[in-house]
Amino acid sequence: MDALCSHNGLDPLWDWNRTWYTPNPDLTQCFQNTVLVWVPCIYLWVCTPFYCLYLYCRDRGHISVSCLCSAKMVFGFLLASFGFVEFFYILLERNQEIQQHMVFLLSPIIRSLTVVLAICIIQLERIRGCRSSIFLFLFWLLAVLCSLVPLRAKIQLAVEEGFSADAVRYLAFFSYFSLQMAQLFLSCFADHPPSSGKPIIVKNPCPVQDASFLSKILFWWFSGIVIKGYRSPLQAEDLWSLREEDTSDKIISDLEQEWTAECTKLQQQEKSMSAGVAPGSRLTDQAQLLRKLQKEQSSGFCLLRTLARNLGPYFLSGTLCLVIHDAFMFSIPQVLSLLLGFMRDEDAPLWKGYFYASLMFMLSCLQSVFNHQYMYSCFTVGMRVKTAVMGLVYRKSLVITSAARRTCTVGEIVNLVSADTQKLMDFVVYFNAVWLAPIEIALCLFFLWQHLGPSALAGIATVILIFPLNGFIAKKRSKLQEVQMKYMDGRIKLMNEILNGIKILKFYAWEKAFLEQVLGYRQRELKALKKSQILYSISIASFNSSSFLIAFAMFGVYVLSDDKNVLDAQKVFVSMALINILKTPLSQLPFAMSTTMQAMVSLKRLGKFLCQEELKADSVNKETFSPDGDAVVVDNGTFSWSKEGPPCLKRLSMRAPRGSLVAVVGHVGSGKSSLLSAMLGETEKRCGSVLVKGSVAYVPQQAWIQNAALRDNIVFGRERKESWYQRVLEACALLPDLEILPAGDATEIGEKGLNLSGGQKQRVSLARAVYRKADVYLLDDPLSAVDAHVGQHIFDKVIGPRGVLRDKTRILVTHGMSFLPQADLILVLVDGEITEMGSYLELLGRHGAFADFIHAFASSERKESSVQRGTRKSSSRLSMTDFMPVSRDLSQEQLIGGDTVSTSLQTMEPISDTDQDQVPEDLGKLTEVDRARTGRVKLEMYMEYFKTIGLALILPILFLYVFQQAASLTYNYWLSLWADEPIVNGTQLNTDLKLGVYGALGFAQGVAIFGTTVAISVGGIIASRHLHLDLLNNVLHSPMSFFERTPSGNLLNRFSKEVDAIDCMIPDGLKMMLSYLFKLLEVCIIVLLATPFAAVVILPLALLYAFIQSFYVATSCQLRRLESVSRSPIYTHFNETVQGASVIRAFGEQPRFILQANHRVDHNQTSYFPRFVATRWLAVNLEFLGNAVVLAAAILSVMGRETLSPGIVGLAVSHSLQVTGILSWIVRSWTDVENNIVSVERVKEYADTPKEAAWTVESKPLPAAWPQTGTIEFHDYGLQYRKGLEWALKGISLQIQEREKVGIVGRTGAGKSSLALGIFRILEAAKGDIYIDGINIAEIGLHDLRSRITIIPQDPVLFSGSLRMNLDPFDAYSDEEVWGVLELAHLKNFVSGLPDKLNYECSEGGENLSLGQRQLVCLARALLRKTKILVLDEATAAVDLETDNLIQSTIRSQFEDCTVLTIAHRLNTIMDYTRVIVMDKGHITEMDTPSNLITQRGHFYRMCREAGLV
């Protein structure tokens, strides 16, 4: 090379004195004309073949010629022509001494040929659909960078010699350089999208596809949505559609084939293994267990392999970015070392300082870019893994056999989708840390060893000590967490019971007792939390002081081990920079390990589920419909539910002729439903064959209803034909139900058909099948849940010989004997075998089991019909009116929990005219839904939160933070002073003192960190205690109407999720945010101390930072809300599908459900994708700001070199290097706090709802024995349920004397129960007054009133806790009194027989006592209180006659000298009362003794006549 240059009369290739050791550096002419010209060319020629191969493999379609492309081509040709012109110019001009100009001849020709190659590549990219080329961008960048040195030389020459000396030469070079710049600029933009064959119209496409590669690297393409979110809260419509490669369709279609292949391989392996076992020999249990574990392990690895094959290449590109990022990260301390060396060397030329400063800035920026590219690729892969796993699990859940389905509950399957996919996503993000972190740690140690020698090992010893401590703390904390969760679960369970039994609590005035119980749980829960938080504070303090501790150990050992060891700025601050790098892998490693272990477990679980047995498609032969012959044929079939299990159907043979009605009868468990399952192919076929001709519709025994509109449940994916739809509704007796439903057939049905009665669900399920117009109908006892006359209607209109389905083949499982005579064929099943078969008359004639069965049934039917006539009638109405969530407060009788049995429709009417303000669209909605909030959190929420903590704690917290940062600043400054200490005779003076001061300051900071974290935790606990107490008080003081309007789920959510967020999330977020804010402050102060001039840079950067931050927080909060709102429909849909899989399969609707699931997952991902990109967008922009601070600190240090010492510069620069990390952490913790402070808002929501009157009134003390006589007077009393509704009671005036027994009767909705509600002030009077013993009850406290009178309610409610607590929650009575009462209530024998007697634990709702026993416990409560007034709301359906007689006789004897009001449903109980009040529509119509009323022949007489008493 040198020879070639010297031959051309140029200086040698490289000269250190010209380039490095000089105040005015330059490159030699030879270097400029050869290397600088050739480097970009060599890059392009070497890489082109590989790039062409890449383009050849990735065809994205053809791009038409655009302006951008044309401009690139034109500039390219101009550039190429420059070279050729120069070549010919030299040839002509210097043709004599051509040998001497070889270099000048070669360079332009090489350059021009390279540009021609670049033009060819531009064309190739256009043809293969590449819109933005990183390959050419790098080429033009290299070319421009290499031209910078000649450019500088040319400008210097022009300045020295004048421009005119060689004007043509200069002009040519400058235009050439400008064209290169133009090409570089153009390559920053993306071309048109390629025109594919079919135009794909995507609504709101993702802009990343139109982004150039520069925009992709810096995430500028994301800015649009950030600005939009800042202007107004984002809605779901504003989000982009998913890119095609992220959609469920694309991901799963690729994955499914591979996974199926893997599964087949696995099964073959298993077969070959089991074939290896000698026939007849059994494996030992151990061997079987081993084999099972191996299978789970291998299925997990298979899943990992399949995912890796599909998503691996993309993930590896991300990993490459991470490795490059690490290289840059480790080079920064080396450059810092050079910079500090420059500061020490006073003779070094200034340009070197600027060079190092710029180099550091460049490296920091590149480090940021590569890091975030890696994170982006990780999250994208994570998102695709989530989609893939969800899709596979969903598809699997549709084909899994029932035996396998029994091994995993619905909850477990939903868990696979929610928890396990999350673990896999975390695994993708942290997996690389498992192998990279150890390498990073080793590299840090290697560099530290270079600076400090063996002392570096002292640092590692410190690390080894810190980590076990943290491990121990983590273990203790997890134990405490379990304790805390236990109490929290107890508290939530109790709250749930309180909300379910709130009416009883109000009647008995027991709120205080339960309030104490809840607070007891809360107290213990917070105690555990406090311990856990103190341990956590130790952990945080040790981690935040770790960099100090490591440095202290290393420097200490270094200076104490040898006097000649001196600490200079280079050693100190390069070591500090390395220690800061070291902290990241150290903290990541244990986390990455545990994430990987958890992911392995999740993979095993997923693999196990995905390898479960599937239903075999060949178990039923499906044929097309043919008008003649048999529609269903089973030939000698034996079926079982699982491969190993016993057969459930044996040697079955049957034929169902086309169009016939086949009835299947038999006792419970005889295999009737299994027969239908066998025809659907749901069972394991052992032998024989099943043939079904035509399409199938299926009605399961337990109706399966989707959470969708009623009409969608019936139409079930078919198009809606109005006339047929109406016919189906009419036939299935659904029209009367539609009239009641608030929005007709558009009413939304709750999960599992929540707001439909059993009969309604069954009829909807039947309507779905009828609407199908299938050829074969399999009906599994559809008439069991409906009442007799509805059942008859359905049989006549749908199933029977004159029904809608008369021409179809119907196989009906039934218990209803009345329908059998109309069946064409009857199968009698006994223990899974058909014992008899034939028509009704044939079977009766045979006098077999069937005939006996019929005779036995007929006699019992006759007996029953006489008893059940009354209840039959009422239960037929139940199915219509069970559905009353919207009008709950209208059905007056329901308020005391009674009379749901026959709430007549007149109470429903007011809906139409009084609730005019209800928006019609919301009619079909259920209760008040929790809304997703929009917009930023208001400032007063923060104020509210801090006010609860109290100023007394906030000031110490702030003081501690200031102290902690001051200590940190001082010890860092002390280090810099130490580093600047002059060296005398090869040593520094007073090293012991210096080390001691350094250590003391560091430890002071550690203690302060511990103090701040503990203080914030304590403050958080105080705040959450107050907020929880307020919430609890507000809820318990709310009136009954509040609980009817608010779903208990919403309330429980406040008590669990929101309170949990206030307990843990907010304090943790605040700790992080404050510590980083103060850290940032410290860095700014240090940089300003060193170079005050930096203020010019820092202030505008701070403003810009605040600006970016406010943009981000608004968008991020809203994206998070949208993401969580769209997540729950996925799980709901999963849940439903798993439960209704057999129905979905029977109707052949799997593809539609798979599409729906895909759609829901995709909808969730549309908000998840921008959510993680938002974090990257923010981080990249912030890190560039942070890097600007590094640049400012370094450049200003170089400028002020005369006045600054190396120590201060090292301090400033090494601190500014941390800014990037600090900034992104502040924003993340800020967003966390902002997202969680919403919980304070939601807990506070119920403070403003209306409350009931005061529990006690201090100013009006009641006489201790009130009421003494028990007289009750009503003065023109009126009652309304809500303003604007009709009066429930109007103008009631009556006097009840002491010891009088009064019965209150009337039709449903007459206002009987409203009287009781008025006496207890569950509802306040709208007009008039009630006096008890001459005291107006409106003027005394609610608890004073309610605790002095007693009610025995209609539905007996017990709470979980001891039996004694259920009788006497305040412990006001002695054990003797309680036992005495139990004897009177006929419970003494029962309770004495219990293991714990009075301390017997009742389960939730008293489930472990029978209904009659619960009713007697309620009686015992009343007996224990023994007040002068007793209101008895008579239980209707709940109690058997025996219990009822016991209760009545006890009341007669025990409450003889009390006033008793009975709301009667059975008239025979009140025939001996002193007075009867007959009510109708809120008025008293008749009032007299029972005998007088009967002689008057009015209302009461008619009621007695109906009841058969007259």
DSSP string, 78-97: HHHHHHHHHHHHHHHHTSTT
Q: Residue 875 pLDDT > 90, yes or no?
A: no
What pLDDT score was predicted for residue 921? 43
pLDDT grade for 856, boundaries at 50, 70 and 90: low
How far lies 175's CA from each of 78, 181, 867, 968, in Å?
Answer: 10, 10, 108, 55
pLDDT tens profile 548-597: 888 899 989 998 888 788 888 888 888 988 988 888 888 788 778 888 88
How far lies 352's CA from each of 32, 336, 356, 1383, in Å?
Answer: 21, 12, 6, 101
| CB-based contact 1312:893 (threshold 8 Å) | yes
The three state secondary structure string of 445-456 is HHHHHHHHHHHH
pLDDT tens profile 1051-1105: 887 888 788 888 888 888 888 888 889 988 998 888 888 888 888 888 888 888 8
Strands 1459-1463 and 1301-1306, how do they pair? parallel
What pLDDT score was predicted for residue 1128? 76
1477 DSSP β-pair partners: 1304, 1487
pTM of the model: 0.78
pLDDT tens profile 778-798: 998 888 767 666 788 888 888
3-state secondary structure at position 777: strand
Closest C-alpha to 86, from 68, 100, 103, 63:
103
Residue 598 CA to residue 429 CA, distance in Å, equals 13
Q: Residue 988 pLDDT > 60, yes or no?
A: yes
| Distance from the first to the final alpha carbon of the chain | 129
Strands 1335-1336 and 1350-1352, how do they pair? unpaired
The stretch 189-204 carries a mean pLDDT of 75
How far lies 342's CA from each of 230, 349, 490, 1093, 1212, in Å?
Answer: 46, 9, 66, 21, 15
Lowest mean pLDDT among 370-379, 832-841, 898-907, 1309-1318: 898-907
What pLDDT score was predicted for residue 883? 32
| CB-based contact 166:228 (threshold 8 Å) | no
Q: Residue 911 pLDDT > 50, yes or no?
A: no
CA 1076-1082-1088 angle, to 5 degrees, is 140
Q: Residue 326 pLDDT > 90, yes or no?
A: yes
The stretch 610-623 carries a mean pLDDT of 85
pLDDT tens profile 1182-1234: 888 888 888 888 898 888 888 888 888 888 888 888 887 888 788 778 878 88
Average pLDDT over the chain reads 82
Q: At what angle do helices 546-561 and 456-500 cross, to 10 degrees?
A: 160
Q: Residue 866 pLDDT > 60, yes or no?
A: no
Closest C-alpha to 83, from 117, 51, 52:
117
Residue 577 CA to residue 1217 CA, distance in Å, equals 8
Residue 362 CA to residue 374 CA, distance in Å, equals 18
The stretch 98-118 carries a mean pLDDT of 81
pLDDT tens profile 205-254: 888 888 888 888 889 899 889 888 888 888 888 899 988 888 999 899 88
pLDDT grade for 366, boundaries at 50, 70 and 90: very high
How far lies 505's CA from each of 497, 508, 1385, in Å?
Answer: 10, 5, 21
Lowest mean pLDDT among 514-518, 523-527, 1244-1248: 1244-1248
| CB-based contact 1433:1351 (threshold 8 Å) | yes
Q: Residue 1027 pLDDT > 80, yes or no?
A: yes
pLDDT tens profile 453-473: 888 888 888 888 887 888 888
The stretch 101-116 carries a mean pLDDT of 83
What pLDDT score was predicted for residue 182? 93
Q: Return the higher-pLDDT residue of 482 and 1409.
A: 482
Kindly calculate the radius of gyration of the chain based on its CA atoms and give it in whole angstroms. Answer: 42
The stretch 1253-1259 carries a mean pLDDT of 82
The stretch 1446-1468 carries a mean pLDDT of 82
Tell me the two tokens of residue 619.
């178990």
What pLDDT score was predicted for residue 325? 94
The stretch 61-88 carries a mean pLDDT of 87
Tell me the two tokens of residue 245.
């490669």
Please report, rounded to a whole number, the percentage of residues in the chain having pLDDT higher than 70. 90
What pLDDT score was predicted for residue 893? 30
Residue 112 CA to residue 117 CA, distance in Å, equals 9
The stretch 1232-1250 carries a mean pLDDT of 81
Residue 319 CA to residue 1018 CA, distance in Å, equals 42
> Which range has highest mean pLDDT (161-165, 809-813, 1107-1111)?
809-813
What pLDDT score was predicted for residue 917? 37
| Tally of residues, the chain | 1510
Lowest mean pLDDT among 9-13, 275-279, 488-492, 800-804: 275-279
Residue 637 CB neighbour total at 10 angstroms: 24
pLDDT tens profile 756-773: 777 788 888 999 999 988
